[in-house]
Structure 1
């Protein structure tokens, strides 16, 4: 599509030109649907869409580490795809969005099309490319998994209903992305809040937002409380490290009683200065790396759900809160869970378990026999049911015309030697993790280079081994979203925290 044909979304902005501030915006369902779709996008996709310049703490480094590590370090080739192009559980609905910035393919089905395959558990499929059947053949793409409701509106529902919101309503969106149905009462309240005595002094301007501008709005929403103002006035956004040492009281309420619960399968060695002033790197195995890499597969809305808010300086949590708050009466009830508790792909990792993120059902019901599905995919499911005028089946003689498929664990190597749980190979490999969460294979030369670059003497260094607690891991994952010193901010006790504990 040429630039002249590119879709845009019309939004009306109410601007205080004197203060160079967008007070609020007014739009229909198209813009609000796109805003709410942000919540469904996995963090890895956000990093990729922002060209690995998301400035979300250390996530860019995590993503680049997955790219740079050799495929031999992963259990299977599919593991990389799970992280670099993570599945969006809501992507099947995105074709109805006026602008869809997530270019990830909807949940697909890959099957072994070898008709002579006699592998155990033959009725399997994969959602990821490069998955290998137990017979040794690479699975082939047979189509996208369709949503139950497709693009059809339920009976009695207005056909103009949006993807996530319903009806032909108008919405007001504040500068910090609180969404609510437009009303006189809300408008007057906002004008009073901003000290606007004469509404005529406000400038109303209509903008046509392109896909590129929507992507820019996503980035600003992750780092700023004023994304609409910064987008309209083209103000650069920076993201300073948040204060990691004073955690809001509402975070991790369930961890209070199990703060000392250790993750016995995870052991790490910390190389640091003896005076506790700096951390060079952490030596870790596959289990700890999974806790970091797995963040890429988790949708934005599930991160907000896990922590009760967006941990950084942005305002995407206002979108999340609006779904079950100011905009609740405007939402399509059957789609709310896609936003407030979006699911990740099946066969997740330690990160999804720690953050209690639900996964998609690893089964798939299809309305034909498995032989026809392997032959024709989703394109010709009806072929299995076609009959002659004599009421006999024309193409397929199978009497059972439905099949339950089971998702193949894409982490499980075809030789069955892996554990099928971690992205990385288990005990064979050790990794170095820098303070900003860059992950490298452990080697003597790299270790020497790190110590040399840090200009440290060997007698200044201390190595200590710890088994982190669940609470510590959640703190590291939170720090990964907001800090370039993710490990030291949690694993080294700063003076500020020591004083607070006394």
Structure 2
């Protein structure tokens, strides 16, 4: 039985064997397209692809908190799904990559199965399974793929000169720290000078094949290391990299609020910390604060880098982002330049976090298809011709229509998966806002507030009650921006932001055993 061979991308690396280092690589459009595709991935998708071992600050712990939190704490069942499997706003492009990294199903449309649904006029649909239709029924998958994802319309199809994001079939140079530029003699000479290579023939040239698994591994290295190509080629263990910590110290507590809004409505928290300001054990918070933290998982990596630059990662993905407006500017498709520099959220994924980070949201999906409401509910996209077709009746020697419905079109209209049926207006929150309280630990592990959970955190910290103090804080927008930033690079996000700045360096040296 024949098996389909997994697609791979070819990459030629130039290796300094004496120093055990990959200096740079030469590639075609396919590899560069995949690298730029990293920027469109939501943070929650990255954590999931990396098996909740991304080592990107507190993101793994945030993701696991969403997994463990009962569905009843979310506004709808679909809210939890949206955070654990966020949809990529650039899914249409990323589905055309030669090697796909994101395995999220982006093409499906979900509707309820009710033929007598009250949403008949504008057939309510969703991109998220489990969303609630206007009739109150849960939406399940419809057969076939959306017409807009038709592979025949791909701009990067077989034989195409252009790539998914890149224009033309040209060669690129990618350095070990993922700076991308078009290949040229002057660039080659400058790189040889930079790496002090006197004899170019001394470099070893190797061609490697990158499968989906290997590219996912490269993604992880790019988040935590400044030499992901070397790490991959020599199979170096991914050790904890604290290279971004000092830069975080310098940039925290200096956020500017360009909008002039210094406060967030009712965002008050209670912090349990040590009296000597050495650490925060946890914060007692409401659903509004938890919603802001969870919303980070829906934000694209490129939007984080746009806002925070180098401080948005301990690795070198910021070099990828910088290359778009720098060394490869003019070599990207007309629309690609814009949505790679400012990746957008999928429809209805907007939330409090995206508002603070100024990430835009795409318009809801709307489509008019050539089939009646009943046939679409029955067959989905998989058999649109049934509704328009006819069959031959042997007895009467006449053609009869397969479907007798007079209206042969259906308008699909995407609804908000975060809004329960009983709510008339759309809402942005994932988590219910109410009287329920939560505790958020220093590494942003979220738990419903209970006596057992608070005692457990204190016991694990091995700190006596006499050494603890509770403080009430009203968080401003800059505070939240700083917590987001710290959450990306350190597992002590609350201590980093909420303790006095003078204690930061001491805290980190103590945390990483540098004394």
Regarding TM over 0.5, the answer is: yes
Q: How far apart are the structure 2 equivalents of 1:422 and 1:195?
A: 54
The residue aligned with 1:365 is: 367
1:478 to 482, 485, 501: 485
Question: Is contact 2:30–2:97 with CA below 8 Å preserved after alignment?
Answer: yes
Q: How far apart are the structure 2 equivalents of 1:301 and 1:476?
A: 18
Q: How far apart are the structure 1 equivalents of 2:137 and 2:181?
A: 52
Q: CA offsets, 1:44-87, max 9 Å, x none?
A: 11111111110000100001111111112212111111011110
Q: How far apart are the structure 1 equivalents of 2:3 and 2:474?
A: 54
Question: What SS class does the counterpart of residue 282 from structure 1 fall into?
Answer: strand
Measured at CA, do residues 303 and 111 of structure 1 come closer, stay the same or move farther in structure 2, by a change above 3 Å? Answer: same
Q: How far apart are the structure 1 equivalents of 2:24 and 2:188?
A: 9
Q: How far apart are the structure 2 equivalents of 1:188 and 1:14?
A: 14
Question: What SS class does the counterpart of residue 72 from structure 1 fall into?
Answer: helix
Question: Is contact 1:242–1:312 with CA below 8 Å preserved after alignment?
Answer: no
The residue aligned with 1:337 is: 338
Q: How far apart are the structure 2 equivalents of 1:494 and 1:257?
A: 24
The residue aligned with 1:163 is: 164
Question: Is contact 1:264–1:467 with CA below 8 Å preserved after alignment?
Answer: no
Q: Which moved more, 1:489-498 or 1:59-68?
A: 489-498
Question: Is contact 2:252–2:482 with CA below 8 Å preserved after alignment?
Answer: no
The residue aligned with 1:182 is: 183
Question: Is contact 2:122–2:413 with CA below 8 Å preserved after alignment?
Answer: no
Question: What SS class does the counterpart of residue 82 from structure 2 fall into?
Answer: helix
The residue aligned with 2:307 is: 306
Measured at CA, do residues 265 and 497 of structure 1 come closer, stay the same or move farther in structure 2, by a change above 3 Å? Answer: same
Q: Given the alignment of the two structures, is residue 426 of structure 1 paired with residue 426 of structure 2, yes or no?
A: no
TM-score (norm 2): 0.87
Tell me how far 1:378 sits from its aligned partner.
2.4
Q: How far apart are the structure 1 equivalents of 2:383 and 2:159?
A: 30
Q: CA offsets, 1:402-439, max 9 Å, x none?
A: 62x33222122234399843222221421110000000
Q: CA offsets, 1:438-489, max 9 Å, x none?
A: 0011001222232333343434332222221111101101111001100110
Q: Which moved more, 1:301-310 or 1:449-458?
A: 449-458
The residue aligned with 1:491 is: 498
Alignment of 1:401-420 (within 5 A): 401=409, 403=411, 405-416=412-423, 420=427
The residue aligned with 2:510 is: none
Q: How far apart are the structure 1 equivalents of 2:480 and 2:196?
A: 44
The residue aligned with 1:58 is: 58
Gapped regions of structure 1 (runs ≥ 5): none
How many residue pairs are counted as aligned between the two chains?
A: 494
Q: CA offsets, 1:172-197, max 9 Å, x none?
A: 11111111111112111211221212
The residue aligned with 2:139 is: 139
The residue aligned with 1:247 is: 251
Question: What SS class does the counterpart of residue 228 from structure 1 fall into?
Answer: helix
Q: Given the alignment of the two structures, is residue 27 of structure 1 paired with residue 27 of structure 2, yes or no?
A: yes
Question: What SS class does the counterpart of residue 57 from structure 1 fall into?
Answer: coil
Tell me how far 1:124 sits from its aligned partner.
1.8
2:380 to 377, 382, 398: 377
Q: Which moved more, 1:281-290 or 1:128-137?
A: 128-137
Tell me how far 1:209 sits from its aligned partner.
1.8
Q: Which moved more, 1:307-316 or 1:14-23?
A: 307-316
Alignment of 1:80-479 (within 5 A): 80-118=80-118, 123-142=123-142, 143-147=144-148, 150-152=151-153, 159-237=160-238, 238-240=240-242, 242-243=245-246, 244-247=248-251, 255=257, 258=260, 261-309=262-310, 311-347=312-348, 348-368=350-370, 371=373, 372-383=375-386, 395=403, 397-398=405-406, 401=409, 403=411, 405-416=412-423, 420-479=427-486
Tell me how far 1:397 sits from its aligned partner.
4.7
Question: What SS class does the counterpart of residue 56 from structure 2 fall into?
Answer: coil
Q: How far apart are the structure 2 equivalents of 1:248 and 1:487?
A: 12
Tell me how far 1:4 sits from its aligned partner.
9.4
Q: How far apart are the structure 1 equivalents of 2:172 and 2:127?
A: 36
Q: CA offsets, 1:217-267, max 9 Å, x none?
A: 111111111111111111223222613321189x855x2573x71101322
Tell me how far 1:144 sits from its aligned partner.
3.6
Question: What SS class does the counterpart of residue 14 from structure 1 fall into?
Answer: strand
Question: Is contact 1:109–1:144 with CA below 8 Å preserved after alignment?
Answer: yes
Q: How far apart are the structure 2 equivalents of 1:126 and 1:266?
A: 31
The residue aligned with 2:509 is: none
Question: Is contact 2:92–2:149 with CA below 8 Å preserved after alignment?
Answer: no
Q: How far apart are the structure 2 equivalents of 1:406 and 1:63?
A: 30
RMSD: 3.1
Question: What SS class does the counterpart of residue 25 from structure 2 fall into?
Answer: strand
Question: Is contact 1:223–1:313 with CA below 8 Å preserved after alignment?
Answer: yes
Measured at CA, do residues 257 and 397 of structure 1 come closer, stay the same or move farther in structure 2, by a change above 3 Å? Answer: closer
